[in-house]
A and B are shown apart, each in its own frame.
Chain A
């Protein structure tokens, strides 16, 4: 009983802000500003969503965000799978140093990357473009992805691969038929992690993107905050649009998450 009581309290506290966001997004403007605040809307009103979608370009932002985040995640996962497998299975000189360097990059305050990134992207004419931003996201999620996948591969027994080699399977055959099926949970979990990371950003996007038609969801939402007189109903509708896809993705792909992280923890 004590256990369930504690769980219930935690659930209310952690879920309340999310529920509050959804409820507020469905209130009319007068109700949002009423004193004292109401919790349940008098009548459901979807006007805020149509304002966010039509006047504030949130559909374009959504498309941009999907493009950048999914693109960056795919590239990052491919690079990290190769590197993680290499580090876990092959005798590489200085692999300890590589791992340490990866961890170290995570400790460097990221805002200082802003200026070099800007200069770097300008040099290759990718400033104010979505691919330019995607490159940044690949780099930012790469270290942790390599680290997690390397640890994950170390928990996958090597015997099966060796047996396949002895049986004379080709290298390509080994990769596609033995390694990939075993690696799948790890790859999905890391991809999910990268996706969450890219979806979350607004700082890097704010330095790299400038035209309204190219903004991402988080940046578009933040721009809305600074542009208008605060209209909480519309802002919460925009928040729902920004948060919903990544929550759905998480719920959908989370199955292996804990399992893979436990491999990384043991590492």
Chain B
């Protein structure tokens, strides 16, 4: 009886496994063809002198394109800008998004409406967001300058996007405006997974709001915050639209980040090999960050038991 039972169970598990593969197969095939091939193609391209400007077949050149990118003076500048871009985006978005989520973590009708209004910037298409802010920064009659003149901080209309000293900050403001709501959504989602009994227990023990925040809420949000930090980092590094639509990396490369630089290499200098090499390097750095994130998170999880 035991043997028959076992055989039946095994045949069921084989059938199960087959069903599983059948379910995953269509998505896997689409991903392989439409994502896998382009990624593979890009990696191959990074080791060749591929160019959009010449019809000669691409030659394998080893790491030559990598070294040519690294020695490009714009690369150093773009790397610095990317650092400012990442810190200037990720930190404010995390802090603001978390604060907003904590303020709006209640289930009332009014709060639901407020939340929805706050999420609108994230839903708005990039082209629209960039246009609105370009208009608000207008050098002749922009509302941003106008408001600052009313308060007395400024005395005449500034071309916010046209000055190397202000352009990067001006674009960062737009992208924080657009990215913060997403952080808020994820943190709200994280807050809802915290069992309310914990707060009741804390209150019974006489904890005040601040103690609740630091001893209950934030420690339990650690995982959520780590995830949203990683997502925001990836989105920010790959946020091409905000910069390209507002300044195209200018003026004078003041807002050129690695991503827009790669685009320029590919479609303005027609140097596909270098563009691919830069993209592969960006990918490797992000992937390492991602792997470290998963390993650290997994270890923290096992430590907890």
With both chains docked as a complex, state the minimum distance between the C-beta of A212 and any C-beta of chain B, in angstroms.
17
Q: Is the CB of B24 within 8 A of A82?
A: yes
Given A257-B185, A259-B189, A109-B133 contact (CB < 8 Å): no
Q: Which residues of A contact B38 (CB under 8 A)?
A: 112-113, 116-117, 120
Q: Is the CB of A265 within 8 A of B189?
A: yes
Q: Is the CB of B131 within 8 A of A221?
A: yes
Q: Which residues of B contact A259 (CB under 8 A)?
A: 189, 192
Q: Is the CB of A217 within 8 A of B125?
A: yes
Q: Which residues of B contact A218 (CB under 8 A)?
A: 125-128
> Restricting to A73-121, which residues have a CB under 8 Å from any CB of B?
79-80, 82-83, 85-87, 89-93, 98, 100, 102-117, 120
Give the CA-CA distance A15 to B121 in the complex, in Å.
8
Q: Is the CB of A109 within 8 A of B132?
A: no
In the complex, per-residue mask of A32-44: 1 if CB is within 8 Å of any chain B CB, else 0: 0111110100000
With both chains docked as a complex, state the minimum distance between the C-beta of B248 and any C-beta of chain A, in angstroms.
11
Q: Is A250 an interface residue (CB 8 A)?
A: yes
Q: Is B41 an interface residue (CB 8 A)?
A: yes
Q: Which residues of B contact A254 (CB under 8 A)?
A: 116, 119
With both chains docked as a complex, state the minimum distance between the C-beta of A155 and any C-beta of chain B, in angstroms.
10
Q: Is the CB of A236 within 8 A of B28?
A: no
Q: Is the CB of A21 within 8 A of B132?
A: yes
Give the CA-CA distance A70 to B77 in the complex, in Å.
41
Q: Is A58 an interface residue (CB 8 A)?
A: no
Given A135-B34, A262-B189, A91-B17 contact (CB < 8 Å): yes
Q: Is B171 an interface residue (CB 8 A)?
A: no
Q: Is the CB of A196 within 8 A of B123?
A: yes
> Restricting to B266-290, which residues have a CB under 8 Å from any CB of A?
266-267, 272, 275-276, 279, 282-283, 286-287, 290
Q: Which residues of B contact A79 (CB under 8 A)?
A: 26-27, 30
**A232, closest chain B residue (CB):** B135
Q: Is the CB of A108 within 8 A of B279?
A: yes
Chief secondary structure at chain A's binding surface: helix
Q: Which residues of A contact B181 (CB under 8 A)?
A: 14
Given A111-B279, A242-B128, A15-B117 contact (CB < 8 Å): yes
Give the CA-CA distance A222 to B28 in the complex, in Å.
34
Q: Which of B55-63, B66-74, B140-148, B160-168 contacts A (4 or more CB under 8 A)?
A: B140-148
> Restricting to B76-126, which residues have a CB under 8 Å from any CB of A?
96, 99-100, 103-104, 114, 116-121, 123-126
Given A14-B117, A79-B30, A21-B128 contact (CB < 8 Å): yes
Interface size classification for chain A: 35 or more
Most-contacted residue by chain A among B133, B135, B223, B238 (CB, 10 A): B135
Q: Is the CB of A221 within 8 A of B128?
A: yes
Q: Which of A48-56, A137-145, A156-164, A180-188 contacts B (4 or more CB under 8 A)?
A: A137-145
Q: Which residues of A contact B19 (CB under 8 A)?
A: 86, 90
Q: Which residues of B contact A108 (CB under 8 A)?
A: 39, 42, 279, 283
Q: Is B240 an interface residue (CB 8 A)?
A: yes
Q: A interface vs B, CB < 8 Å?
A: 3, 6-7, 10-11, 13-15, 17-18, 20-21, 24, 33-37, 39, 79-80, 82-83, 85-87, 89-93, 98, 100, 102-117, 120, 135-136, 138-139, 142-143, 146, 196, 199-200, 202-203, 217-219, 221-222, 225, 232, 235-236, 239, 242-243, 246-247, 250-251, 254, 257-259, 261-262, 264-266
Q: Report 19 cross-chain contacts, Cβ distance below 8 Å, ordered by A residue.
A: A11-B114, A11-B117, A13-B177, A14-B121, A15-B118, A37-B142, A83-B27, A86-B20, A87-B20, A92-B20, A103-B290, A109-B279, A116-B37, A203-B240, A221-B131, A232-B135, A246-B124, A254-B116, A261-B186
A111-B279, A116-B38 provided; 14 other pairs, C-beta below 8 A?
Answer: A79-B30, A82-B26, A89-B20, A91-B13, A107-B238, A109-B283, A110-B238, A112-B39, A113-B35, A117-B34, A138-B30, A218-B125, A219-B127, A247-B124
